[in-house]
Each structure stands twice: as C-alpha cells, then as structure tokens.
C-alpha cells in the first residue's frame, strides 16, 4: 500500500470522542461572528470539511513516518519517527500500548503545540522498520488522529495514562488574544470568521478590532494631528467599524476608555456627525451642495442612520453598513473637492 491513493472527498467530519481545541473559539459571543468561509460551506462543519478535502493527506508534500519495535513489557511497543533515510536516522517518541488508538495519540502528543501547516501528513508502518508497508495515514489533525475511537475506549486509555495532551491546533486555526479591557483569554478560528467581528463575552469589547483601530489612530501623533489627516483616518476607522457592525462601546482602548470616547470624540468632529447636528447642519449642507451634486437630504438621512447604529441606539444591520459605504464615499469626495478648491 502506498500513500498516493485516490482521494475520497468527505461529506462530514469524522466523529471523534473529544475535541482538542474549540472549532469556533473561546470567550467570544458566537452570535455576533461574521463568517468568512473562504473554502466553501455554509456553516463551521461544512467549511472545515471543505478545508480538509482541499488539504487531504494524499495531497501533502511531506510526511512524518512512524514505526514500532518491541520492548520487554508485554503489550507495549516503542514508537520511532523516521526523519532521514540517507543516512538513516530515527527518533524515539515514546513507549505506549500496542494499539492503533494509543499509537495515534502518542503521535499527536509528539507534535503537540507545533504548527504543522497543511503540507505534512503522518504515516504509520507498524513493525516495518524500512517503512515500506504502509498501514495507516492521515492529516496531522484531531480528526484523523482520534478517528475510530469510541468515548468508552478513550476513557479506558485514559485510565492507563494514555491521553491527548498539549495543543492540537496543528493547522493554526486559532488566533489568540488577551482582551485589553477585562484581560480575558480570547481565541477565534480566523480561517472561518472575520476576526474583527469577535466580541468578548465578558466585557463586550472587540479584542482584535479595538487594538487595531487605536494603533491606526496612534499614527496621528506622527503627523502632528494635521486636520486633513485626522479626518482621513477617522473616516477610515468609521468605515472599518461599519463593515463588522461595531459600535463605539465595543472598540474601547482599555478599561479607562469609557464607552469608546476616544474614537467617538473624533467621529463627532466629522461631517458625518455635523450633518445631524442642528448647530452645524447649514454649514454642512452648503459644503455638500457647493462641492457635489449629491442630494443633501439623502446624505443627512444616511448619516443619521449610521450614527444611531454606531452609538448603539439601534441594532447594526446590513443597511447600516450600506449607508456607511455611501457616506464614506460622499464625504471623501467633499474633502477632495475642497482640497482642489484650496489649491
């Protein structure tokens, strides 16, 4: 038997007795996540199936070869990893029960905490030291390493001290972050979700988006807060927030940034905000009408719609994101026309 067998596409994930890492993530509000299933599928399981089919073991460029040799203790074997043929080199990874399940768990533990990517498979050759008679193989992931192990069997192995240990996120699906507001440990499967849509379930902040936005705004110091640059960056931040339905209260810099006042204070100086304020509406109307042929009533209604969503007055929906697209483009056009007029 060799490794280049015909690829059989899976329709669902193999049933395994335990998950070594959460498919979605941890300490996040799952209902707020925005999918980005770039490998296909319409839910996390079908997306994972599509990913595993794309990176099936038969398609891997490299392999880690394992074989066993006898030991004195009855019912156990020494497992070796072959990592070089010319000259021949092997490495003992451990001694375990002489069963396929126990050996696969040992293989998984051997590469635990490692990022193996999608280009390496495992191959098991039994007692064949020359690694020519392939007995089993699979992806280096929890589904192929824990396949065909009923929960009762896993429990039986655990009683013998044979348990999966370490991080088995070999594909590096999870991005980890410490929430800057409450200090919660956050993890998100970025292969399947927009990381900026992640909301901490403990404090409601966005652990990936918020630091990125504030790092972007920190660049204002280097340009001495030039008015046009402040406006440009603020508009960029608001546009970015709207794409993932984020409110000001969800993008706090830290625990002291109450209700996201840093970004909100910048937003309140933009045309988007001023178009909805009674004291400044006439001046904004004049800017819009002098520099564009955009209907001010429509511009103002879109600004109002976006503002209400960003302060959390109404739930953020796709129509608010569409309004943000229009407002951002229109506001940018007004600034460009103003600059050309000055010149």
Among candidate residues 95, 130, 159, the one where a domain is terminated:
159
Q: What pLDDT digit, counting tens, does each position of 95-114 carry? A: 999 999 999 999 999 999 99
Q: Is residue 48 part of a domain?
A: no
Task: Give the pLDDT score at 11.
Answer: 72
Assess whether 259 and 330 both reside in one domain.
Answer: yes
C-alpha–C-alpha distance, residues 171 and 47, integer Å: 14
Domain boundaries, position 102? 56-159
Indicate the angle between helix axes 281-291 and 296-310, nearest 10 degrees: 130
Assess whether 215 and 306 both reside in one domain.
Answer: yes
Q: 3-class DSSP state for residue 31?
A: helix
Q: Is residue 94 part of a domain?
A: yes
Residue in this structure with the two tokens 């399981």, named with its chain if needed:
45
Element (H, E) at 93: strand 88-97
Assess whether 221 and 337 both reside in one domain.
Answer: yes
Q: Is residue 46 part of a domain?
A: no
Q: Is residue 187 part of a domain?
A: no
C-alpha–C-alpha distance, residues 109 and 163, integer Å: 9
Phi, psi of 172, deg, nearest 5:
70, 40
Mean pLDDT for the stretch of residues 259-287: 94
Q: Where does the chain have alpha helices with state H? A: 44-54, 100-110, 142-145, 151-159, 209-218, 227-243, 261-267, 271-274, 281-291, 296-310, 318-342
Q: Is residue 25 part of a domain?
A: no
Among candidate residues 159, 182, 198, the one where a domain is terminated:
159
Assess whether 123 and 212 both reside in one domain.
Answer: no
Assess whether 239 and 338 both reside in one domain.
Answer: yes
Assess whether 144 and 244 both reside in one domain.
Answer: no
Q: Is residue 326 part of a domain?
A: yes
What does the angle CA 337 – CA 340 – CA 343 come to, to the nearest 5 degrees? 150
Task: Give the pLDDT score at 183.
Answer: 97
Task: Give the pLDDT score at 86.
Answer: 76
Q: Is residue 314 part of a domain?
A: yes
Residue 1 pLDDT level (bands cut at 50, 70, 90)? very low
Phi, psi of 220, deg, nearest 5:
-65, -30
Assess whether 212 and 140 both reside in one domain.
Answer: no
Nearest CA-CA partner of 8 in 52, 38, 44, 48: 52
Total domain count, the chain: 2
Among candidate residues 96, 129, 159, the one where a domain is terminated:
159
Assess whether 217 and 337 both reside in one domain.
Answer: yes
Q: Is residue 173 part of a domain?
A: no
Residue 7 pLDDT greater than 60, yes or no: no
Assess whether 154 and 263 both reside in one domain.
Answer: no
Going by DSSP bridges, is the β-strand pair 88-97/136-139 parallel, antiparallel, or unpaired?
unpaired
Tell me the two tokens of residue 30: 């799952």
Query: Lowest mean pLDDT: which of 3-12, 152-161, 298-307?
Result: 3-12
Task: Give the pLDDT score at 194.
Answer: 94
Task: Give the pLDDT score at 4.
Answer: 46
Assess whether 335 and 219 both reside in one domain.
Answer: yes
Residue 6 pLDDT greater than 60, yes or no: no
Task: Give the pLDDT score at 342.
Answer: 53
Assess whether 141 and 243 both reside in one domain.
Answer: no
Q: What pLDDT digit, counting tens, does each position of 124-147 carry? A: 999 999 999 999 999 999 999 999
**Contact criterion met (CB below 8 Å) for 141 and 87:** no
Q: DSSP letters along 132-187, please?
A: -S--EEEESSHHHHSTT--HHHHHHHHHTT----S---TT--EEEEE-TTT--EEE
Q: What pLDDT digit, counting tens, does each position of 60-82 carry? A: 889 999 999 999 999 999 999 99
Assess whether 257 and 138 both reside in one domain.
Answer: no
Going by DSSP bridges, is the β-strand pair 120-124/62-70 parallel, antiparallel, or unpaired?
parallel
């Amino acid at each position: 038997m060799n490794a280049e067998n015909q690829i059989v596409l899976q329709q669902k994930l193999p049933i395994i007795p335990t998950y070594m890492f959460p498919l979605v993530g941890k300490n996040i509000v799952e209902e707020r996540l925005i999918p980005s299933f770039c490998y296909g599928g319409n839910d996390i399981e079908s997306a994972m199936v599509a990913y595993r089919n794309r990176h099936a073991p038969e398609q891997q460029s490299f392999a880690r070869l394992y074989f066993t040799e006898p030991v004195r203790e009855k019912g156990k074997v020494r497992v070796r990893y072959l990592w070089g043929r010319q000259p021949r080199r092997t490495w003992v990874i451990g001694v375990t029960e002489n069963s396929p399940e126990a050996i696969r768990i040992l293989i998984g533990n051997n590469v635990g905490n490692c990022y193996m990517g999608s280009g390496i498979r495992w191959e098991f050759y039994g007692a064949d030291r020359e690694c020519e008679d392939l007995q089993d193989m699979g992806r280096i992931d929890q589904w192929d390493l824990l396949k065909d192990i009923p929960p009762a069997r896993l429990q039986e192995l655990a009683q013998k001290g044979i348990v999966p240990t370490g991080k088995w996120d070999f594909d590096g699906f999870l991005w980890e972050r410490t929430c800057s507001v409450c200090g919660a440990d956050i993890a998100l499967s970025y292969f399947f979700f927009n990381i900026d849509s992640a909301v901490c379930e403990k404090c409601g902040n966005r652990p990936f988006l918020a630091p990125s936005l504030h790092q972007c705004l920190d660049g204002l110091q280097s340009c001495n807060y030039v008015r046009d640059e402040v406006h440009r960056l603020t508009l960029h931040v608001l546009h970015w927030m709207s794409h993932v339905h984020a409110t000001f209260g969800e993008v706090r810099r830290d625990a002291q940034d109450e209700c996201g006042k840093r970004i909100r204070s910048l937003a309140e100086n933009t045309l988007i905000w001023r178009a909805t304020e009674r004291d400044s509406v006439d001046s904004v109307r004049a800017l819009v009408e002098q520099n564009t042929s955009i209907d001010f009533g429509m511009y103002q209604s879109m600004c109002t719609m976006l503002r209400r969503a960003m302060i959390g007055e109404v739930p953020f929906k796709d129509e608010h994101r569409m309004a943000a697209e229009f407002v951002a483009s229109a506001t940018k056009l007004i600034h460009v026309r103003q600059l050309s007029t000055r010149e």
